């Protein structure tokens, strides 16, 4: 390759690296912003609303922000017990859980089964909800990990949990603890009982499914397991 050709390639690569670096700096700025400001919507909310409006142009999401102190401690314990028992201790990523989930999912794929297991922590799920999408690919997963460490470096565990409980999807068009409490139990997030909280936490891996099918036998069994584990976890 000629010297001018090598120079062009080098320039293009440097420009791409600079653009990627600036993009990450921009994301870090957004992480700092969300440490102090509450999101009015997330990419997953917008994607969900667009999908719903393809069938019903009048479709709307149920979403209402509530501060940390107005969310039942039962729900905080239930979500941590169900989704991420080591939440208060880890640095954002549980590599052992990721390896176990990968092995399990490969085995399921080999057996032709659809059920999958996630290895994501609450912080990883927050990173996905605030900045990314539900798509599954290695590039998105890599960006999720970078965002996870940014979030852990900037935010307290209390703020991370507050954000997650407010933006998590709990139904086909239901987002956040307050909307979920009203949708399923006609109450406020602050008033959720241990039983109600454990059921909501058990729904999180597949909320739209349980919104359609109700309290299946599996959901009730999983909720009972979550409730039994609630006292064993720490809450920020």
pLDDT at 190: 97
pLDDT at 134: 75
pLDDT beneath 50, residues of the chain: none
Judge contact between 39 and 162, C-beta under 8 A. no
pLDDT at 168: 96
> Where do the structural domains in the chain lie, given as residue ranges?
1-36, 46-55+62-86+93-232
Q: What letter does residue 232 receive in the DSSP assignment?
A: G
pTM over 0.85? The answer is: yes
Helix locations, the chain, DSSP H: 3-36, 43-55, 73-83, 95-110, 122-131, 138-154, 157-167, 177-185, 194-203, 207-213, 217-229
pLDDT at 98: 66
Q: Nearest-CA neighbor of 224 among 191, 202, 209, 193?
A: 202
CATH (one of 1.10.3810.10, 1.25.40.80, 1.10.1740.10, 3.40.640.10) for 46-55+62-86+93-232: 1.10.3810.10
Q: Within a 10 A sphere around the Cβ of 63, how many other Cβ atoms?
A: 21
Distance from C-alpha of 146 to C-alpha of 165, rounded to nearest angstrom = 21
With H, G, I as helix, E, B as strand and everything else as coil, classify residue 221.
helix
pLDDT digits (tens, 9 = 90+) for 6-55: 777 878 888 888 888 898 899 999 999 999 999 999 999 999 999 999 98
Helix locations, 37-72, DSSP H: 43-55
């Amino acid at each position: 390759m000629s010297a001018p050709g090598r120079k062009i390639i080098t320039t293009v690569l440097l420009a791409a690296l600079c653009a990627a670096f600036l993009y990450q700096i921009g994301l870090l700025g957004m992480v700092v912003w969300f440490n102090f400001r509450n999101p009015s919507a997330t990419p997953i909310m917008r994607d969900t609303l667009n999908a719903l409006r393809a069938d019903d142009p009048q479709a709307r999401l149920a979403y209402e922000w509530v501060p940390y102190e107005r969310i039942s401690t039962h729900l905080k314990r239930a979500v941590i017990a169900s989704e991420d028992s080591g939440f208060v201790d880890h640095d954002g990523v549980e590599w052992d859980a990721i390896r176990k989930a990968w092995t399990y999912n490969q085995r399921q794929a080999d057996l032709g089964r659809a059920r999958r297991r996630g290895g994501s922590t609450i912080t990883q799920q927050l990173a996905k909800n605030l900045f990314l999408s539900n798509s599954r690919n290695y590039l998105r997963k890599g960006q999720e990990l970078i965002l996870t460490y940014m979030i852990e470096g900037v935010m307290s565990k209390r703020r991370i949990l507050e954000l997650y409980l407010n933006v998590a999807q709990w139904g086909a068009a239901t987002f956040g603890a307050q909307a979920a409490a009203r949708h399923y139990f006609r109450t406020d997030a602050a008033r959720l009982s241990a039983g109600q909280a454990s059921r909501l936490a058990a729904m999180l891996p597949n909320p739209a499914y349980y919104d359609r099918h109700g309290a299946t036998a599996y959901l009730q069994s999983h909720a009972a397991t979550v409730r039994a584990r609630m006292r064993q976890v720490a809450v920020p």
